[in-house]
A and B are shown apart, each in its own frame.
Chain A
Amino acid sequence: MQALLHLFHYDFVQNAYLAGTIVALVAAVMGYFVVLRAQAFASEAMSDIGLAGAAGAALLGVGSLLGMFCLTILAALGMGALGERLRGRDVEIGMILSFALGLGALFLIIYSQTGTNAAVGINVLFGSIVSVTRGDVLITLYTGLATLLCIALLFRPLLFASIDPEVAQTRGVPVRLLSMLFLVLLAIATAEAILVVGALLVLALLIAPAATALSLTRRPLTSLLLSIALGLVIIWGGLTLALVGPGRHLPVGFFIATLATLFYLVSLPLKRLRSSRHIVTQPRPCKHPCNEYSSMAGRGH
């Protein structure tokens, strides 16, 4: 504790905690919707696409945030426009991701041949939270606030459309538009988070807190608050473990990913317990289940 307080005199420690807190907060809120909408793959794709954007920006000599915003927002629009159903969307995301990764590889290789070092890719991938500047903190703060404001404005319809898109659609909620808007917000939040914690940790901070919270309680506001609390515990815990204590020379990313995984894995059996108590009946998607079974059974082998 004494050691930690002493460390807070350093600028880089302050910056890491500040930026980490903002990122974890935004990620927990966005992640709440990501998990509800089952878009873990989309957010993972977004962070890898951000990586390609950062590599492209390095090649062109512009700021990496600009490159990340360009590619992630473009990808968000593409995913929104191409994917209509849940299962179909998976493939569209995959195709966009694979192309972006190819582009990223190209940018990195050209950059490493013309530029000074190839470490830029690894830095963006694994992040460098302890080398965040005060300027980065401010950028994170502004984009974070803007994202949270948008989410607050869209909160009710977005929640409705995320939990039950079909009913929301029939009730006149513009589900398709909301889906597109959410992906764009996710793109902005992801790019901003990559700047601070790296592409690897974005996914940990996005889905682990929210998935844990949602397996413990399904009540909207409670689970959202729980998700934020868990996100903060993960980032503060990870930073503290990496800065003081026995694992001092080990990377922050390792601690954050491990904490996130631990929370999630512990929540899994609790969820089984909870769901066995509340048996939820859902409408079956198939129109004539009996008919299909009998026609299949009649065919024989």
Chain B
Amino acid sequence: MFDLLQYAFIQNALLAGALVAVVAAIMGYFLIARGLTFAAHALPNIGFAGAAGAVLLGLDPVFGLFAFTIGAGLGIGLLGKKAGERDTLIGVLMTFALGLGLLFLTLYSGYSELVYNILFGQILSITPQDVLITALASLLTLLAVLALFRPLLFSSFDPEVAQARGLPVQLLALVFLTLLAITVSLAVQVVGALLVFTLLVGPAATASRLASSPFRAIALASVLGVSYTLLGIYLAALTLTWPVSFFIAAIAFGVYLPVRLLSPLWSDRHKRHTLQPALEPSGATQNDLSAQEAQPVEHLTHSSR
């Protein structure tokens, strides 16, 4: 079983995959809290159109990826303020981008290979240089998230109260969507548009059902994300023909489904602890709870400086 690990391409794939998985899991936690699951699906597709456009112009696909995803992220942040309307807006933006992508692909003759590479990724053909770039970019994204950790968390879970407390909620939403766009652009190059979505949503969805505090949920999501990725790559390398994205998606779904189906068993207990105090007039228990949660968060922001 360890024979496979000797190959350099497997090592590179595992390293880059794990890095992307950690960043995606952390971003995914905020993403789910903000109700932006659809954006996580749309941005990789929009980036795909951008990459096709860049190729048509003779540029590196990376430029197109970043330009389109960041543009769309800002558009979603600026125009989609209400949750219901935001989804419609994301849908329209995505169709438009895909329409453009179709146009670019028609004008460009090298058709299906490019589509397949961007959609399904090329994790098994990553170079050490790619790993280095991914590592640096992941680190920068994580630092940005850590620097904004507390306000981001607050504005994700309770935007109205955060606004009332003077937090720049609108600006934070824009910053978050830009960070998401950057994460997606990075991850698309490693794992492909299809898998980015799984890595963003899968681990974080399971973790936020299992863990009660944000800090624990984020840690659990990262661990889950890395485990899914490593296992998925290993299984794909073992079978040689089946795609990595299938294995990771299947594992993520296979873990999520039982957790989702069984979670009512413990969420009743959970609700009594978290939801009811918020409705009680005294508010004392709520303060206790948030004080508990604040501690690891505090610790985290200090250590990042």
Chain B residues in 8 Å Cβ range of A292: 161, 278, 283
Query: What 1/0 mask marks residues of chain A from 131 to 156 whose CB sits below 8 Å from any chain B CB?
Result: 00000000000000000000000000
Given known A-B contacts A98-B249, A299-B287, A208 and B279 have beta carbons under 8 A apart: no
Mark B247-289 against chain A: 1 for CB-CB distance below 8 A, else 0.
Answer: 1111011001100100000000000000000110101001100
A277-301, CB < 8 A from B: 287-288, 291-293, 295-297, 299
A40, B197: Cα distance in complex, Å: 17
**Does B92 lie within 8 Å of A261, measured CB to CB?**
yes
8 A Cβ contacts from B153-203 to A:
161, 164-165, 194, 197-198, 201-202
B83 CB contacts on chain A under 8 angstroms: 38, 86-87
Asked whether any CB of chain A lies closer than 8 Å to the CB of B79, the reply is yes
Q: Is B212's beta carbon under 8 Å from chain A? A: no
Which of B94, B102, B245 meets A203, CB within 8 Å? B94
A253 at the A/B interface (Cβ < 8 Å)?
Answer: yes
Check A101–B249 contact: CB distance below 8 A.
yes
Q: Which residues of B contact A109 (CB under 8 A)?
A: 120, 241-243, 246
Q: Which of B36-70 contact A (CB under 8 A)?
A: 37-38, 40-42
For residue A82, which residues in chain B have a CB less than 8 angstroms away from its CB? 260
Question: Total interface residues on B, using CB and 8 Å?
Answer: 61
B37 contacts which chain A residues (CB < 8 A)?
Answer: 41, 90-91, 93-94
Q: Which of A23-58 contact B (CB under 8 A)?
A: 35, 38-41, 43-45
* Contacts A98-B202, A292-B283; A207 near B96 (Cβ below 8 A): no
Q: How far is the CA of A110 from the CA of B197 in the complex (A)?
A: 22
Residues of A within 8 A of B93 (CB): 261
**Does A174 make an interface contact (CB < 8 A)?**
no
- Which chain A residues in 106-128 approach chain B with CB under 8 Å? 106, 109-110, 113, 118-119, 122, 126
Verify if A241 is at the interface (C-beta below 8 Å from B): no
A268 CA / B86 CA spacing, docked (Å): 12
CA distance A87 to B86 in the complex (A): 13
- The listed residue (B87, B99, B252, B278) touching A204 by CB distance below 8 A is B99
A265 to B91, CA, bound (A): 12
A264 at the interface (CB under 8 A from B): yes
Chain B residues near A44 (CB, 8 Å)?
38, 41-42, 91, 94
CA distance A286 to B85 in the complex (A): 21
Q: What B residues does A295 contact at CB under 8 A?
A: 283, 286-287
Identify which of A97, A256, A260 contacts B41 (C-beta below 8 A).
A97
The answer to whether the Cβ of B108 comes within 8 Å of any Cβ in the partner chain is no
CB distance from A245 to the nearest CB of B (A): 15
Minimum distance in angstroms from B162 CB to a CB of chain A:
9
- Interface of B toward A, CB cutoff 8 Å: 32, 35, 37-38, 40-42, 79, 83-85, 87-88, 90-96, 98-100, 102-103, 106, 111-112, 115-116, 120, 161, 164-165, 194, 197-198, 201-202, 205, 241-243, 245-250, 252-253, 256-257, 260, 278-279, 281, 283, 286-287, 290
- Top 5 nearest A-B pairs by Cβ distance? A102-B249, A257-B99, A38-B84, A295-B283, A99-B253
Q: List 24 A-B contacts (CB under 8 A).
A: A38-B87, A38-B88, A39-B87, A44-B94, A45-B41, A87-B35, A95-B252, A98-B197, A102-B198, A102-B245, A102-B247, A102-B248, A102-B249, A110-B241, A110-B242, A118-B112, A207-B91, A211-B88, A254-B99, A258-B96, A261-B95, A264-B92, A295-B283, A296-B165
